[in-house]
Structure 1
């Protein structure tokens, strides 16, 4: 069972990955929000690792970033090497 610290590290690393993909595609939070069915303030919270999201949100983010959902998980967890 993951500890709270491990969950927090995962959420922060996932959020950083979303932010990197968004910036690579030169999208603002509002532009990404318009590309998918997620409010821009929620995307901001996801990028900061403050929001634990559902699979449907992952699918929406992938749609908004025009990428495969698997690509959203292409990251190393901070503090885990």
Structure 2
């Protein structure tokens, strides 16, 4: 996969994360507290600045109260 395609996927994932978080009315801090991540890292993920591991996607799903697969549905 090219670097450009990789960045596009990161951007789309981040946009989807933000959309779901906004739909649930949750702040960055609330999600961070729910999934034991730093709110600045969640912001970086939403902005496509941080590449994450599968375990982080699972934790984000828990923090948002959704199936982690929903984060990949973009």
Give the superposed CA RMSD: 0.5
Indicate the residue corresponding to 1:7 in structure 2: 6
Kindly tell me the number of residue pairs found equivalent between the two proteins. Answer: 74
Indicate the residue corresponding to 1:30 in structure 2: 29
Greater per-residue helix proportion: 2
| Unmatched 5+ stretches in structure 1 | 76-81
State the TM-score, normalizing by the size of structure 2.
0.97
Q: If you compute each CA radius of gyration, which structure gives the higher value, 1 or 2?
A: 1
Kindly report structure 1 stretches of 4+ aligned residues shifted beyond 6 Å: none
State the TM-score, normalizing by the size of structure 1.
0.89
Partner Cα distance (2:58, 2:4) in 1: 25
Indicate the residue corresponding to 1:39 in structure 2: 38
